[in-house]
Amino acid sequence: MSAAAKGPPRQIDVWTFVTLGGFAIVGIFLVWPLADVFRYSFTDKESGLLSFSNWLEFLSKKYYLRAFLHSMFVAVSTTALSLLFGIPLAFLTTRYRIRGSALLNTVAVLALLSPPFIGAYSWVTMLGRSGFLRLALDSIGIHLPPIYGALGIVLADSLQYYPFVSLMTAGALMTIDRSLEEASENLGASSTRTFFRVTLPLVLPSVTGGALIAFMMSLSNFGTPMIIGGNYLVLPTLAYNLFTSEVAERPGMASTVSLVLMLCAAAIISLQQWASARRKYASMLVNRPIIKRLRGLPSALAHAVCYCIVGLSALPLAVVVFYSFKNTKGPVFIKGFGLESYRQILFDVPKTVMNSFTYSLIAVALIAVVGTLLGFILARRRTLAARILDPLLMIPYIVPGTVLGIGYIVAFNQKPFFLVGTSIIIIMTYFIRRLPYSVRSASSILRQIDPALEEAGINLGSPPGRTFRTITLPLMKAGIISGAIMSWVTSMNELSASILLYVGRTMTMPIKVYLSVLDGFFGTASAMSTILLVVTGIALYLVNRWTGKGAAQAVVGV
Amino acid sequence: MKKQMVFIFGLALAVTAFAAPTKVVVYTAHEDSILNALAPRFEKDTGIKLEYVKLASGDVIKRAKAEAGNVQADVIWSIGGEQLEADNAILAPYTPKEWDKVAAVFKVGTNWLPYTGIMNVFIVNTKMLSPDKYPKKWTDLADARFKKLVSSARADKSGSAYMQLCNTLLIYKDTGWDAYKGIMQNMVVSASSGSVPKFVNDGEQAVGITLEDNAFRYVQGGGPVAIVYPTDGTVAAPDGLALLKGAPNAEAGKIFIDWCLSKPIQEYLVDNMFRRAVRTDCKDPPGLPPSRTSRPFPTISAGQPRTRMISRRNSRTSPWILGSRAFTESP
């Protein structure tokens, strides 16, 4: 559609520096701390020499290959289900009037924030061997398959990660040109046909962008498989166990498994780029879609679908809130309700809430700026450098947080950076681990905006930096905000790296939750999780108020 | 003016350098309730500020090792003795003041010091099993009737699960590996050792292998669980305390260690944590059987079984993986 995508010869401009900056970030925050990890993969366990023995072991042992296949199965099924939940939700809430859609969107975002470990335990409480939902359904003659294993992981993962799809798709659905859909309907296509042949292809970059994140998240998630996977082994649990195993002297196999995960990620990124580049439709953002009002049965059906999807994903949260009010005696839940669990954590609440907010907000401010600039390069400047940078920026998705945490302790506890024990190091972890969301979100939205608008600016004599500021940036606002919200919510929830880097005064909410789980005190863990949910919910609500729009629109960023 | 400032600043530095220790930094796996009680008590007793970082026991070691180039903490407090033994290169030996009061059975050396004694026991769900169906000894856990009903953690990750393996090896000697493999066939491995009794309490699994004090908290809380002491014996292994090599506040660290091993603190731990004291002059926890009734009571002379296990590990192709595969493949 446009020449810009092919990358005409250009001279050094501001984007050259941004590209260099991107490599500097990858170098300092990822490659340097993780260099050891990568090196181990190519080092022989026994001799310590350069070798491919770890890779041969991976390829020759059924044990690893099976974990690999399990991982693929889980990630692909999760992605498919996320699309199945996310697309209808996004379409219905952006195109039709759904009562309480503001609430629906907020709850969907909160579902992303399934508190560490607790979310998976909630599913056990509901559908485990003695789960209350299972017992209730058993008593009316419905027998569910056991939750432990692939089924449970896919269920929990997809209900947690579908908001990535729904958020990004909704953002895109609101920026496409209405006249295209109208033309299709005027030419006699049914609305179903219009949806599949016109609307969906138009938002494909964002749909696949969201699907990519869901895929990556479920590919790299180890918490859920660890708790409800039973003995169903997947690559991240394998990598995590190998890395954290106390008897592993050289993490050769562990880093090999991580590199395999990274290769999968790189392959999927290429696939997504191919899918979104094959058909390019960009919008001038002139004719935005309108929200229709449904009546009668269609309206009831639309409501039912939306509420079912969001309701299911909110179930684990509801369980957490419920248990936070249950009375406890030591680690055991007893009859009756009260505020005992809250009383026990009262002392830690102000500090941890403050820390979580301060760190995540600073990180998100940085992420929004850097992510937007890098997203622009990935979408608009298809240079070799940008192509290399793209998968590199996905490393944070795949490297287990624990590994990054250990890398950071070693790298930033020596000259010239003495950062261990400071809040800076926690902010740095948030920044690097959540940067990919913003990069992805910004580049997806850009692929949907017609570069002709920017070219017009440049043709009129505006330098690239200024064109970006005055033309591109306002057009990208939707993508930037939705990316920032995803980064923020997931930063608030970061655990696996910060747990290794925190000191008493830099404790955050998820760390507190995890430490309660560690002690076996699920009452206090639920109470802290509830506080985490409530403050995040309030913050999202306030963002909506400040931006002066309805909750639904601000969440999807339009 | 500027000179004066420099002088005052220098004086302040000098004073801090020679003054009595003012703070100690501790990495610990202790439970919150204990920390909330003991930290203020230490500060009151000694006037030294206690800054603690609570982590999973495996993370304590990982973090201390990663920081070895520029040590940030002074003392490691309450993580498995065998974990400390395995990484004693980062520890500094120290002989505490009341070393003669510590039971000889727990002593392994002075690289790290025994802090409390912990036993591995079975926790059973009383709704799922009647008393005659309880497992009595370790090998009972390999029975087909407990298929996928035994809750435990990974022996290569969790200190307590590692102790269970050592326990089986110590009791069954040459057949120990096969015995443990049999138990593993029935295991559902949970993410952390702390969640093992929780899963049994919630009726997700019928039997768990866990630490006595963890299990007892569920009994005390009124959960549908009971403790079973294996009749073929169980191991009481110490969890430890250790001074870190290169500790920035080593003097304060030593004061802290002496304080932890003092009689009032050991008695507090016995009464409130249901741990066994390492001192010879303390009683057993209230509500738990005296140590002598649970049959042979050898201490892991830590390190030794680990060496054995690791050499075993190298002699075969990763038995851990073989082991995990064994139970992954069980239909």
DSSP assignments along B169-229, one per residue: HHHHGGGHHHHHHHHHHHEEE-SSTTHHHHHHHTTS-SEEEEEHHHHHHHHHTT-SEEEE-
What is residue A7's predicted lDDT score, i.e. its pLDDT?
47
Distance of CA A418 to the CA centre of its chain: 30
Q: Where are the domains of chain A?
A: 4-320+374-556
Below-50 pLDDT ranges, chain B: 15, 292-331
Does residue A439 register a pLDDT over 50?
yes
d(CA B55, CA B63): 9
Does residue A98 register a pLDDT over 60?
yes
d(CA B74, CA B52): 10
Those residues with Cβ within 8 angstroms of residue A359's Cβ, 6 or more apart along the chain or in another chain: A423, A426, A427, A430, A491, A506, A508
| Closest CA relative to residue B28, chosen from B67, B79, B73 | B79
ipTM for this prediction: 0.74
In chain B, the N- to C-terminal Cα span, in Å, equals 82
Asked if B28 contacts B77 with a C-beta cutoff of 8 angstroms, the reply is yes
pLDDT in tens, A138-171: 888 888 888 888 888 999 999 989 988 988 888 7
Listed by number, the residues of chain A in 208-227 with a beta carbon closer than 8 Å to a beta carbon of chain B are: 223, 226-227
What is residue B256's predicted lDDT score, i.e. its pLDDT?
96
What is residue A281's predicted lDDT score, i.e. its pLDDT?
64
Those residues with Cβ within 8 angstroms of residue A234's Cβ, 6 or more apart along the chain or in another chain: A67, A70, A71, A74, A153, A222, A225
d(CA B29, CA A177): 58
d(CA A289, CA A173): 8
Distance of CA A191 to the CA centre of its chain: 31
**Chains A, B: CB contacts under 8 A, how many?**
138
Are A247 and B67 a contacting pair at CB < 8 A? Answer: no
pLDDT in tens, B112-136: 999 988 888 899 999 999 999 999 8
What is residue B12's predicted lDDT score, i.e. its pLDDT?
52
What is residue B294's predicted lDDT score, i.e. its pLDDT?
35
| Closest CA relative to residue B148, chosen from A4, A554, A195, A146 | A146
Reported as type and span, the H/E element at residue A550 is none
Average pLDDT, rounded, for chain A = 82
Q: Which of residues A8 and B156 earns the better pLDDT score?
A: B156
What is residue B268's predicted lDDT score, i.e. its pLDDT?
92
Query: Given B29, B203, B221, which is nearest A330 (Cβ)?
Result: B221
Residues of B in contact with A517 (CB under 8 A): 192, 194-195
CATH number of A4-320+374-556: 1.10.3720.10
pLDDT in tens, A357-413: 999 999 999 999 999 999 988 888 778 888 888 888 888 877 777 778 888 888 888
What is residue A552's predicted lDDT score, i.e. its pLDDT?
38
Asked if B230 contacts B207 with a C-beta cutoff of 8 angstroms, the reply is no
Of the pLDDT bands very low, low, confident and very high (cuts 50, 70, 90), residue A548 is very low
Are A334 and B221 a contacting pair at CB < 8 A? Answer: yes
What is residue A77's predicted lDDT score, i.e. its pLDDT?
96
| Closest CA relative to residue A173, chosen from A88, A47, A85 | A88
Residues of A in contact with B33 (CB under 8 A): 519
Domains and CATH numbers, chain B: 2-117+237-289 (3.40.190.10), 119-235+302-328 (3.40.190.10)
The secondary structure of B27-90 as a DSSP string is EE---HHHHHHHHHHHHHHH--EEEEEE--HHHHHHHHHHTGGG---SEEEEEEHHHHHHTGGG
Return the CA Rg of chain A.
Answer: 24
d(CA B223, CA A494): 32
What is residue A521's predicted lDDT score, i.e. its pLDDT?
83
What is residue B257's predicted lDDT score, i.e. its pLDDT?
96
Q: What residue in B sits closest to A330 (Cα-Cα)? A: B221
Asked if B195 contacts A520 with a C-beta cutoff of 8 angstroms, the reply is yes
B303: left (phi over 0), alpha (psi -120 to 50) or beta: left
d(CA A150, CA A71): 9
Query: Given B51, B198, B204, which is nearest A130 (Cβ)?
Result: B204
Those residues with Cβ within 8 angstroms of residue A465's Cβ, 6 or more apart along the chain or in another chain: A13, A14
Q: What are phi and psi of A246, to 5 degrees?
A: -80, -15
Contact of B55 with chain A, judged by CB distance below 8 Å, is answered with yes
HEC secondary structure over A442-486:
HHHHHHHECCHHHHHHHHCCCCHHHHHHHHHHHHHHHHHHHHHHH
Residue B212, both tokens: 């006595």
| Interface probe, candidates B165, B199, B272, chain A, greatest A C-beta count within 10 A | B199
Residue A404, helix vs strand vs coil: helix
| Rounded average pLDDT over A280-286 | 63
Does residue A199 register a pLDDT over 50?
yes
Reported as type and span, the H/E element at residue B291 is none
Reported as type and span, the H/E element at residue A183 is helix A178-186
Q: What residue in B sits closest to A516 (Cα-Cα)? A: B32
What is residue B265's predicted lDDT score, i.e. its pLDDT?
94
d(CA B212, CA A308): 44
| Rounded average pLDDT over A321-345 | 85
